[in-house]
A = this chain, B = another copy of it.
Amino acid sequence: MATIQPVVIFFILGVLAGVLKSDLKIPEALYKSLSIFLLIAIGFKGGVSMAKYEITEVLPIALSMVVLAALVPLTAYPILKKLGKFSQADSGAIAAHYGSVSAVTFAVGIAFLDGIKETSEGYMVLIMALMEIPALVTGTVLARRGAGGETQWGKLMHEILTGTSIFLMVGGVIVGYYAGIVKLVSPLDKMFMDLFMGVLALFLLEMGLLASARLSAIRAKGPFLLGFGILFPLTAGFFGAFLGAIFQLSLGGTMMLAVLYASCSYIAAPAAMRIAVPEADPAVSIGASLGVTFPFNIFIGVPIYFEMAKFFKAMF
């Protein structure tokens, strides 16, 4: 199996700093700056490589993959409700988190492909941005079916569409696409491509610190969420790899679709669910997605999704 990327070791260092009660602290402004950088860089990289495709050609494929992403929360919900014995609100909210995606897991997947000199379709980043919508909307509908009080749909859609994550990724795609077309990628890439891995390293350090502080929140439902947080992304990733192969994506693209289906959100989704399903407990969903699924994905999941992609690509 593929070697572990050096960059993910920074996550372990962060966890360790938390566990050892080191006085290491990442300034909040740095954390935010790094995430602004990463979102733009992910979009920019995708946009540059999209400039090589005919957009109209890929749009239908991309859209179908986005729509099919609604299956993820629809599957997660009954499991959480029946097996996990979570309330309707919590089940819907957690389902929304797992239907949604994690830009950092995506970045680790890209880094993994870079390491083995593979690439993926540039428009995967657009799929990532769009997938938020069906995931968060489906999760909200599930959480609030028959519930009293009115859902703040307008506020929710505004939050999703203009939230920092989607806004910066789509913005990055636009600039990257334009730069690719007019052949002026060059001086911008020194920042947004060359430094990508280094910035990811610092970001993972902070993720580790945050994860170690969040794990305690899921203690009550610990065993169930540990199982769910590992088995569910594996299943979702399997489904994603299958879809990718069916849609004739490249090997790298097939793996990245698996990563998208398998990854879950801990930044955009919590903000959206706070508005749409305020009665859900955010500590549980963040604890599961950041404390269990995120580390599982970046260390073990990503190489497995690559094997799944190889398997399905050989099949179809």
Contacts and interface: CB of A to CB of B under 8 A. Distances in A.
Interface of A: 3, 5-7, 9-10, 13, 16-17, 20-30, 32-33, 36-37, 40, 111, 114-115, 158-159, 162-164, 167-168, 171, 174-175, 178-179, 182, 184-185, 187-188, 190-192, 194-199, 201-202, 271
A191 B195 contact: yes
B29 A163 contact: no
Given A115-B184, A188-B7, A162 B17 contact: yes
A30 B162 CA distance: 21
B10 A167 contact: no
A30 B36 contact: yes
Identify the interface centre among A7, A24, A163, A271: most chain B CB within 10 Å of its CB. Answer: A24
A178 B190 CA distance: 25
A155 to B, nearest CB: 11
A187 B191 contact: no
Contacts of A22: 162-164, 167
A201 B197 contact: no
Contacts of A37: 202
Given A22-B162, A162-B20, A163-B22, A182 B3 contact: yes
Contact of A28 (B3, B6, B29, B114): B29
A21 B29 CA distance: 21
Given A17-B162, A167-B24, A9 B175 contact: yes
Given A3-B182, A27-B33, A197 B202 contact: no
A75 B294 CA distance: 51
A285 to B, nearest CB: 20
A14 B23 CA distance: 28
Contacts of A199: 191
A191 B184 contact: no
B188 A194 contact: no
A97 to B, nearest CB: 19
Nearest to A6: B179
A196 B196 CA distance: 16
30 contacts: A3-B182, A3-B184, A5-B184, A6-B188, A7-B188, A9-B174, A9-B175, A9-B178, A10-B171, A10-B175, A17-B162, A20-B167, A21-B162, A22-B162, A22-B164, A23-B159, A23-B164, A23-B271, A27-B28, A27-B32, A29-B29, A30-B32, A36-B202, A187-B194, A188-B197, A190-B194, A190-B195, A191-B194, A191-B201, A195-B198
